[in-house]
């Protein structure tokens, strides 16, 4: 089988304002990707939603759009996995003996590894961040060796509706768990509440065996 995995991250720099880091990925069979992208575009059209879908630019007037989009995710074959680190500034990477850069790629590996099966082929798409895309691809290839083939690409988020959905979900997880901000955005709070209603649990962590929408919360080991 051939699969595509769309990846994004939120607050992934060590010295940004947030102590929360979220890495996320959506996996889907390659032959379903065009259909899903087309369906999301149709939902956007039906709600006159002309913007790129981004957590940082959610629109208060588009509540019904977000409801339909989230409903569609749960009806579709898309699988979402996130690795959530609530305390990235507290030397978590050092506890494991890594630099923060090395730990960044370990987090990516942990996010995607449950999607990877040796007999399948994968195309992994990373959201464009900066001019270091070639370096990111080279490091990612080292950690995703398996018996099938794995190709890795850098794309702009506006090229993929699925990547935009991933951005929305990791943004919701990060916002839910940030302690350094006031949660005063009605539309962001609504999206989080609706996601939690659909899931039946909070956007904090899930049991390991949950496949549809899985969140792994990575904490410092108590000493």
- Taking phi over 0 as left and psi of -120 to 50 as alpha, with beta for the rest, 116 belongs to beta
Q: How many other C-beta atoms are found inside a 10 Å radius of the C-beta of residue 125?
A: 24
**Domains, in order of start, for the chain:** 2-217 (3.30.420.10)
Query: Rounded to whole angstroms, how far apart are CA atoms 138 and 23?
Result: 18
**pLDDT tens across the length of the chain (223 residues):** 999 999 998 755 545 676 788 999 999 999 999 999 999 999 999 999 998 999 999 999 999 999 999 999 999 999 999 998 887 666 565 566 566 677 778 888 889 988 988 889 999 998 876 656 667 777 777 777 666 778 888 888 888 999 999 999 999 999 999 887 788 999 999 999 999 999 999 999 999 899 999 999 987 654 4
Q: 158-209 pLDDT, tens per residue? A: 889 999 999 999 999 999 998 877 889 999 999 999 999 999 999 999 998 9
Q: What percent of the chain has pLDDT over 70?
A: 84
Classified as helix, coil or strand, 8 is: strand
């Amino acid at each position: 089988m051939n699969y595509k995995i769309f990846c994004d991250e939120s607050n992934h720099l060590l010295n940004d304002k947030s102590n929360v880091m979220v890495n996320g990925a959506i996996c889907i069979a390659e032959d379903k990707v065009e259909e899903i992208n087309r369906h999301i575009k149709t939902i956007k059209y039906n709600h006159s939603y002309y913007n790129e879908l981004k957590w940082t630019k959610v629109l208060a007037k588009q509540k019904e759009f977000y409801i339909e989009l989230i409903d569609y995710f749960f009806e579709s074959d898309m699988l979402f996995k996130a690795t959530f680190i609530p305390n990235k500034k507290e030397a978590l990477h050092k506890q494991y003996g890594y630099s923060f850069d090395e730990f960044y790629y370990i987090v990516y590996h942990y996010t995607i590894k449950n999607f990877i099966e040796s007999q399948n082929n994968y195309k992994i798409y990373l959201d464009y961040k900066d001019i270091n895309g070639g370096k990111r691809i080279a490091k990612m290839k080292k950690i995703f060796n398996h018996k099938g083939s794995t190709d890795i690409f850098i794309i702009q988020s506006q090229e993929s509706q699925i990547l935009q959905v991933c951005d929305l979900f990791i943004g919701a997880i990060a916002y839910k768990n940030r302690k350094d901000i006031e949660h005063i955005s009605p539309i962001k709070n609504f999206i989080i509440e609706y996601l939690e209603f659909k899931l039946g649990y909070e956007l904090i962590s899930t049991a390991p065996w949950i496949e549809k929408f899985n969140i792994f919360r990575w904490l410092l080991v108590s000493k």
